[in-house]
Amino acid sequence: MNITLQPVTRGNWMEALSLSVTEEQIHFVPPAVVSLAKVYIKPDGDQVRYEPYAIYHEDRIAGFMMLAYEELTADMYWINGFLIDAAQQGRGYGRAALLLMLDTIRSRFPHCREIRLTVHPDNSHAQRLYRSSGFTDTGEWLGGEQVFVYPVDR
């Protein structure tokens, strides 16, 4: 399976905006436009860097995810806005993209010790994916969602 993460740029941002999830998933994840707005607005403060990525299967966009982090920290690495387009779901692209992002964070940030994300409590598919990829529920809540953590082994 040829899955790649490509930065969202002026060359592909319209593709990212075309992504959508199923009707049942709409309240689980914001559309890509909301995540892209965060890059400019920086709602978590100027110290947080945002890197939006388009998920491609071969040369076709399949999804979106964003990395938000504070450099030189051990525990401020967050994956958010993660979605796979409704027409592309069920093909393993989400798992492949998640594992690719985990590898990317591990290699780019050697001081990173944990990666976090939030998940809607009713999103059982995402919870299964995260747990089977090594994430655990911290018991914490943020914005009405459960916080999951992935320990980075070195």
Dump pLDDT digits (tens) for 73-82: 899 999 999 9
Q: Which CATH architecture has domain 3-115?
A: 3-Layer(aba) Sandwich (3.40)
pLDDT classification of 154: cutoffs 50, 70, 90? low
Backbone angles phi, psi at 4, to 5 degrees: -130, 155
The tally of CA atoms less than 13 A away on the side-chain side of residue 89 is 14
Dump pLDDT digits (tens) for 87-129: 999 999 999 999 999 999 999 999 999 999 999 999 999 999 9
User: pTM of the prediction?
Assistant: 0.95
Domain boundaries along the sequence of the chain: 3-115
Dump pLDDT digits (tens) for 29-60: 999 999 999 999 999 999 999 999 999 999 99
- Rounded Cα distance, 115 and 151, in Å: 7
- Rounded Cα distance, 134 and 144, in Å: 22
